[in-house]
Copies of this chain bind each other. A is one copy, B any other.
Amino acid sequence: MSILHAGGLLKQLRRIRAPRRPWPDSRGLCSVPDRLLARIERVCHRISTNASILERHGDDESYHPALPPDVVAFAHSTEEVQAIVRLCAETRTPLIPFGTGTSLEGHIQAVRGGVCLDLSEMNQVLQLHPDDMDCRVQAGVTRVALNAELRATGLSFPFDPGADASLGGMVATGASGTNSVKYGTMRGNTLGLTAVLADGSVVSTGGRARKSSAGYDLTSLLVGSEGTLAVITEAQLRLHPIPAAVSAATCTFPSLAQAGAAVAALLQCGVPLSRAELLDGTTVAAFNAYAPDVADLDVAPTLFLEFEGVSEEAVRALASVSQECCSDHAGAGFQWATSESERRRLWAARHATYYAALALRPGSRGIVTDAVVPLSSLAQVMVDTANDVRSSGVIGPIFGHAGDGNFHCILLVRKDDPPEYVAMLQGINDRLIERTLAVGGSCTGEHGIGIGKKKWLAREFGDGAVSMMRTIKQALDPLGILNPGKVVDA
């Protein structure tokens, strides 16, 4: 549980003022004078300028340096958000929406200071409709908290980006995770949003219909907009039935290429995989070292597969076709895990991958790449990246959501690393994205642009699309107060 949920401590910390940080003022945005602080406090009641709170709110889980805001306001309602946005608009003060701070591209860094709007106390599940398999949540509800509420319904919110992120943050980032090959991403599972625009107006972008062709798709426009177009305060989300039968398996391959080909073949056969994770040998070794009590895997390119079905019989049918398909691509050592405890152990291991990778160089944070390529290019791009990592003389485990063509390479960086070392790691990332764009891929599948990938946006889409994004940003946020410096520069 994060410090922000420890109500008692938080209460003591509120109103404790830290020394004000100087604020770059290049765009004519004013700093936060005491008079504005007092006005924010009047509409919101819970604000803090305590140094450690500011520090925590200007630092995500990435390698990007922390840039704390000038003040943190803890909103409790859409009306409070609206009032704060209006004050920021009036005074041209930057405003940065904040969920749990688990993003990976500097999304919450206060590059121009301003007000961090913490939504973590807007944590109510507002509606739950089990018969319709949808729910309405406030932005600060986390995915684990939502699933706890769903326990008695037979339904789940299956999207799992790793961290226990807030649902508002997951919407704003366009998050997904290991099972998007079956369930899609936040984009396809967000039915509607309540959001506050830069002028303080409140919009409702969709209702409970499972599909709609009514007007412009404002929901999809806000999904992945990273707090730069609006502050999301509520989300209507699709839920999914917990499958009656599940089976997981691991299978090793002589090469990444063969493992990648096996996944492509499974999808071409129409096997409804619910997960297809591909780990390279380095990752498997990191894994065994990190959790020797649970993991004892052969050090080789390995597929983690999961199948879901309406019955044991349905799952067995999928499993049998899949085993055959993997064998055709030289897959061997098929190990099945059908009991829940076995599957939990397997996936706990897979989910520990990130921390296993960090443990390879203690004290590190990761530059976590998340490129997406067409399926047929996945193995080659992974192999080329692994060669680049090896020839650069660093450790960089590679694993990914093979069913989407989305993979991560974790490049380990420490605060005290010399600039040349960091630049060398950035070079690996840059070449990886070059390779990705050369085959028609995307520089980010689920982490977003933030400040870390801005330079790649025009390379991926061309100037026309980035200019169109800028036109939309300027139309919806003409003063540039919403999370300035992220995604596109106004």
Which A residues contact B (CB, under 8 angstroms)?
129-134, 154-155, 173-176, 180, 184-185, 187-188, 197, 201-218, 220-221, 223-225, 229, 240-244, 264, 267-272, 308-311, 313-314, 317-318, 320-321, 372-377, 404-406, 437, 439-449, 453, 456-457, 460-462, 464-469, 471-476, 487-488
Inside 8 A of A446's CB, which chain B residues have their CB? 211, 213
Inside 8 A of A134's CB, which chain B residues have their CB? 374
Complex A-B, nearest 7 residue pairs according to Cβ-Cβ distance, in ascending order? A220-B220, A475-B475, A208-B440, A209-B442, A212-B442, A314-B317, A174-B213
CB distance from A470 to the nearest CB of B (A): 10
B268 touches A449 (CB 8 A): no
CB distance from A130 to the nearest CB of B (A): 8
Given contacts A210-B406, A243-B270, A309-B317, 20 further A-B contacts (CB under 8 A): A130-B268, A133-B267, A133-B268, A176-B211, A184-B188, A201-B464, A204-B461, A204-B465, A206-B442, A209-B372, A209-B373, A210-B375, A214-B443, A216-B487, A221-B472, A271-B310, A310-B317, A311-B321, A314-B314, A471-B475
A441 touches B209 (CB 8 A): yes
Q: How far is the CA of A321 from the CA of B203 in the complex (A)?
A: 42
Inside 8 A of A242's CB, which chain B residues have their CB? 270
CB distance from A201 to the nearest CB of B (A): 5
Q: How far is the CA of A267 from the CA of B242 in the complex (A)?
A: 11
Inside 8 A of A185's CB, which chain B residues have their CB? 211, 213
B310 touches A216 (CB 8 A): no
B317 touches A212 (CB 8 A): no
24 A-B pairs with CB atoms under 8 Å apart are A131-B264, A132-B264, A132-B374, A132-B375, A187-B220, A201-B464, A207-B437, A207-B460, A208-B374, A209-B372, A209-B374, A213-B449, A215-B449, A215-B461, A216-B224, A216-B487, A217-B224, A270-B308, A270-B309, A309-B317, A311-B317, A314-B314, A314-B318, A314-B321
Given contacts A154-B268, A472-B472, are A216 and B201 in contact (CB under 8 A)? no
Inside 8 A of A460's CB, which chain B residues have their CB? 207, 214
Chain B: CB-nearest residue to A188: B188
Inside 8 A of A269's CB, which chain B residues have their CB? 241, 244, 310
Q: A154, A208, A447, A449 — which one has the most chain B CB atoms within 10 A of its CB? A: A208
Inside 8 A of A216's CB, which chain B residues have their CB? 221, 224-225, 229, 469, 472-473, 487
How many monomers of this protein are in the complex?
2
Inside 8 A of A309's CB, which chain B residues have their CB? 270, 317
Inside 8 A of A475's CB, which chain B residues have their CB? 471-472, 474-475
CB distance from A429 to the nearest CB of B (A): 15
CB distance from A103 to the nearest CB of B (A): 11
Q: A203, A209, A213 — which one has the most chain B CB atoms within 10 A of its CB? A: A213
Q: How far is the CA of A374 from the CA of B133 in the complex (A)?
A: 9
B444 touches A213 (CB 8 A): yes
A468 touches B218 (CB 8 A): yes
Inside 8 A of A210's CB, which chain B residues have their CB? 372, 374-375, 404-406
Inside 8 A of A272's CB, which chain B residues have their CB? 272, 310
Chain B: CB-nearest residue to A205: B465
Inside 8 A of A264's CB, which chain B residues have their CB? 131-132
Chain B: CB-nearest residue to A203: B464
A476 touches B468 (CB 8 A): yes
CB distance from A158 to the nearest CB of B (A): 11
Chain B: CB-nearest residue to A265: B131
Q: How far is the CA of A185 from the CA of B209 in the complex (A)?
A: 13
A211 touches B241 (CB 8 A): no
Inside 8 A of A244's CB, which chain B residues have their CB? 269-270
B224 touches A221 (CB 8 A): no
Chain B: CB-nearest residue to A445: B211
Chain B: CB-nearest residue to A219: B220
CB distance from A307 to the nearest CB of B (A): 10
Q: How far is the CA of A240 from the CA of B439 in the complex (A)?
A: 21
A214 touches B374 (CB 8 A): no
Inside 8 A of A215's CB, which chain B residues have their CB? 224, 449, 457, 461, 465-466, 469, 487-488
User: Which residue in B173, B213, B373 is a CB contact (below 8 Å) of A224?
Assistant: B213
Q: How far is the CA of A311 from the CA of B269 in the complex (A)?
A: 10
Inside 8 A of A187's CB, which chain B residues have their CB? 188, 217, 220
Q: How far is the CA of A437 from the CA of B208 in the complex (A)?
A: 10
Inside 8 A of A130's CB, which chain B residues have their CB? 268
A471 touches B462 (CB 8 A): no
B375 touches A214 (CB 8 A): no
Q: How far is the CA of A44 from the CA of B387 in the complex (A)?
A: 50
CB distance from A469 to the nearest CB of B (A): 5
Q: How far is the CA of A374 from the CA of B314 in the complex (A)?
A: 28
